[in-house]
Amino acid sequence: MNNKREMLRHNLATLAYRAAKVLRDVPPDFATYRSSETTRTPGQILAHLGDLLDWALSLAAGRQVWINSEVLLWEQGMDRFFTSLKKFDDYLASGDDLQASEEQLFQGPVADALTHVGQIGMLRRMAGAPVRGENYFVADIEAGSVSAAQRPARREFD
């Protein structure tokens, strides 16, 4: 396995770790929270996250497909996100040829997904349900760990 692919897989594990933190234990009405008339709701962002990862897999496999999915119930949206993330990671782990470079896969769908996870974190704070910050430098993150079940934070801030 090449170093670029392993780094991309580590980025996916980082995405999973950060997403799991902001997606779990949300208030019941959080999915429809709107900070202004022109912003996406957290539910819409979560649907977009799943779309990004499905697109990433299609790019990697050389059959670029984009689908705008409907917003699901929060738990279903989370399941879809983590399922799509695992499928993409499984493809990278398989060693099958990539039809897009690791750099392109990172700079497009993966970086966009990281941005949107940050947006959900910000919207949680605005909605009165913030998550605790932590020192991600010491987080226990490793390639292949892309499920909603993540290791506990090593050092959260007060």
Domain-wise residue ranges, the chain: 3-138
User: Given 1.20.120.450, 3.40.50.720, 2.40.30.10, 3.40.50.1370, which CATH number is that of 3-138?
Assistant: 1.20.120.450
- What is the model's pTM? 0.95
pLDDT of 1 over the 90 cut: no
Give the DSSP letter string of 1-56. --HHHHHHHHHHHHHHHHHHHHHTT--TTGGG--SSTTSPPHHHHHHHHHHHHHHH
Distance CA 54, CA 24 (A): 21
Instruction: Give pLDDT tens digits for 99-144.
Output: 999 999 999 999 999 999 999 999 999 999 999 999 999 999 999 9
